Amino acid sequence: MQDMTTDDWRQLDAAHHMAPFTDYRELRAAGSRIITHADWHYIYDSDGNRILDAMAGLWCVNVGYGRKELVDAASSQMAALPYYNNFFKTSNQPVIALSKRLADLTPDGLNNVFYANSGSEANDTIIRMVRHFWALEGKPQKQTIIGRTYGYHGSTIMSASMGGMTAMHEQAATAPDFVHIKPPYGFLYQGNLSTADFAALAASWLEDKINEVGADHIAAFIAEPIQGAGGVIVPPEGYLNHVEAICRKYDILFIVDEVITGFGRTGQWFASQTFGLSPDMMTLAKGLTSGYVPMSAVMIGDRVATRLIDDGGEFYHGFTYSGHPVAAAVALANLDLIARDGLVEKIRDDTGPYLAAALEPLAAHPLVGEVRSFGLLAAIELVKDKAGPVLFDPVGEIGVICRDHAINQGLMVRAVRDAMIMSPPLSFEPSDIDHMVTILAAALDRTLEDITKR
Ligand SMILES: *Cc1c(COP(=O)(O)O)cnc(C)c1O
């Protein structure tokens, strides 16, 4: 293995590895980038490139790479108890401690936790729980779940059906009883409306859908407080409070998917606290362990939990690795680090505002239609013409060109449609942000040159 070249690795990868969300023919032609190691905010590839990771892996490596505390937590837990199941009236100490910790950290009323390994599984769990809940309430016809276009809740058939990614639906992810409404995507839909009017309008799309389907058929509405994979869509102020009130009015469970927004990214431990929400259930994953090992969790509010506990009988659901002791130990060490390093306050008071101010000047670039950020989430929308704005046609080509320029200059970002997306580690320093913005500006310039040359 030592004398293998990057090309050897690429060829082997292409020969046997079908990677997620990948166009296989395209990847085989281009070859993958082989990531060999990572340290703090940088990843390194087998060609010796050092790349600033403005995506925190995939929205998850919140405390940065190489944190010894997490390595040690995993290692001692593996030595003490690497695995035991929680199925048959057994439990383990890390998972008990983590459950108490999550109940304390999350908003009031979320006091119970169900564990899984991925955000997708957590959301599948929620789907089963809410439908079971309504059956126990004597309303088994309340089955339909409302999601949103561009919403992302995972890649299992159920979680992808609940999400609003059309391309995923078209590949066998169309389970029954899921409907979708338009997202509060100001860049596309706000026009000349005031923030308050747009918040009310976007919330009215939920009420319209409820009236169309009938509240007595609707189990729940699920929303990411800030839509991540859909393009870092930041809702207008008030929108989330409106949709929560609409859910209460029609007795529909209100579920927040905080897989990205949880654990400090918005400047509070959870976006529900940032936006003043009291959800019935909450999805957690990614940042729960900073991605060092897989773990996800469903926070279950008292209304649903009480019903399941008192009248539910056995809940026929769970995964071999639900409440895995090593994952729980890493999650606990991760939460300790976030607290010890003051990352939540740092984003609220320091790096969140700093990021917004640092990105602001890019709005003047001829390619940029909108710059938006919230806490440590950001998006830069690229447009053909700022007036309008006029989008590129087809959508998605220019975004990839700009993303590739950024990566080639040492910055890992993602493109969603024609937006550049950022979700850096929560430990990002102002100097990292400056470095990121310098490369973004250069990538925008090069993209503009490419377009002009065409
Ligand atoms: C990533 C993500 C998921 C899915 O998590 P997986 O661990 O990839 O299954 C669900 N919801 C949101 C908001 C996500 O960003």
Q: Indicate the length of the chain as a whole number.
A: 454
299, 293 Cβ separation under 8 angstroms: no
- 322, 366: one domain: no
**Which residue is it, tokens 């590129």?**
392
- Residue 215 counted as domain residue: yes
Ligand 1 centroid – CA 119 distance (Å) = 4
Written as one string, the DSSP assignment of 220-272 is: EEEE-SSBSTTT-BPPPTTHHHHHHHHHHHTT-EEEEE-TTTTTTTTSSSSHH
Q: Which domain holds residue 432?
A: 33-63+342-453
- 49, 82: one domain: no
150 lines ligand 1 (CB under 6 A): no
- Residue 1 counted as domain residue: no
Q: Which of 62, 153, 377, 423 to mutate to test the pocket of ligand 1 (most atoms within 8 A of CB)?
A: 153
Q: What is the pLDDT of residue 388?
A: 85
- 351, 334: one domain: no
CATH number of the domain residue 49 falls in: 3.90.1150.10
pTM for the full model? 0.98
- Residue 23 counted as domain residue: no
Strand order in the sheet with 377-382: 368-374, 377-382, 419-422, 414-416
- Last residue of a domain, which of 340, 365, 398? 340
Question: What are the tokens at 271?
Answer: 């976006």
- Last residue of a domain, which of 340, 369, 386? 340
**Which residue is it, tokens 């729940």?**
220
- 87, 210: one domain: yes
Percent share of the chain, pLDDT over 70: 100
- 379, 347: one domain: yes
Q: What is the pLDDT of residue 454?
A: 85
- 330, 384: one domain: no
- Residue 235 counted as domain residue: yes
- Last residue of a domain, which of 306, 325, 340? 340
- 324, 394: one domain: no
- Residue 173 counted as domain residue: yes
- 348, 371: one domain: yes
3-state secondary structure 7-41: HHHHHHHHHHCCCCCCCHHHHHHHCCCCEEEEEEC
- 267, 226: one domain: yes
- 224, 294: one domain: yes
- Residue 26 counted as domain residue: no
- Residue 271 counted as domain residue: yes
pLDDT in tens, the chain (454 residues): 778 999 999 999 999 999 999 999 999 998 999 999 999 999 999 999 999 999 999 999 999 999 999 999 999 999 999 999 999 999 999 999 999 999 999 999 999 999 999 999 999 999 999 999 999 999 999 999 999 999 999 999 999 999 999 999 999 999 999 999 999 999 999 999 999 999 999 999 999 999 999 999 999 999 999 999 999 999 999 999 999 999 999 999 999 999 999 999 999 999 999 999 999 999 999 999 999 999 999 999 999 999 999 999 999 999 999 999 999 999 999 999 999 999 999 999 999 999 999 999 999 999 999 999 999 999 999 999 998 899 999 999 999 999 999 999 999 999 999 999 999 999 999 999 999 999 999 999 999 999 999 8
Question: What are the tokens at 276?
Answer: 């003043």
Please choose, from the candidates 79, 92, 432, the residue with its C-alpha nearest in 3D space to the C-alpha of residue 71: 79
Q: Which of 286, 296, 299, 421 to mutate to test the pocket of ligand 1 (most atoms within 8 A of CB)?
A: 286
Ligand 1 centroid – CA 122 distance (Å) = 9
- Residue 16 counted as domain residue: no
Total domains, the chain: 2
Q: Which atom of ligand 1 is nearest to the CA of 121?
A: 9
CATH number of the domain residue 301 falls in: 3.40.640.10
- 107, 167: one domain: yes
- 220, 281: one domain: yes
